[in-house]
Amino acid sequence: MLLRNIEPLDETQMRWRPGADRNSIAWQLWHIAEVEDNWIRSLVMGEPLRFPFGVQLRTAAQSDYPQKRSLLDYFHEVRDLTRTRLGAATESDLGRTVQDPDFGRITVLEVWSGVVTSFAWHAGQIALTAKLLPDSPVQTMEFRYFKDENGST
């Protein structure tokens, strides 16, 4: 759904903000990838943080934002890393505890749960923002399984 909501958007729509202190779809997509990659790098793998665009999102100016294609490439790269990382994780790996600066001692499984929760939250924000866009090209999904044989909900 996240990719379906982003696919029809142009660069201007990717950067449109639904309000003064709100985030654009570009910001949300970048945040999803950066959190997914760097929480695991830092907390689970003990590796340094990585910022492929030369700047951390939280300090980035609008002029630092990469183009849509670059953001999507980063997102897909991180998803591939996640598949590899999770595919290699054992039950004991997931049960290991780590020290999180915000939550204290948590398990690696809880770190991954935070990644999934962050993804779900921000993917929902992308869907909402895409539908709020003036003249939005994003189509609202219709869930047929919520309808009866007459098409009523």
Residue 153, in any domain of the structure: no
Residue 152, in any domain of the structure: no
Residue 105, in any domain of the structure: yes
Residue 39, in any domain of the structure: yes
pLDDT digits (tens, 9 = 90+) for 9-62: 999 999 999 988 899 999 999 999 999 999 999 999 999 999 999 999 999 998
Q: Residue 141 has what pLDDT? A: 61
Q: Is the pTM of this model over 0.85?
A: yes
Residue 70, in any domain of the structure: yes
Q: Residue 148 has what pLDDT? A: 65
CATH (domain of 26): 1.20.120.450
Residue 63, in any domain of the structure: yes
Rounded to 5 degrees, φ, ψ at 105 are: -75, 120
Residue 56, in any domain of the structure: yes
Contacts of 74 (CB under 8 A, 6+ apart): 30, 33, 52, 53, 66
Residue 113, in any domain of the structure: yes
Total number of domains in the chain: 1
Identify the weakest region by mean pLDDT among 113-117, 136-140, 147-151: 147-151
For residue 113, give its domain range. 2-146
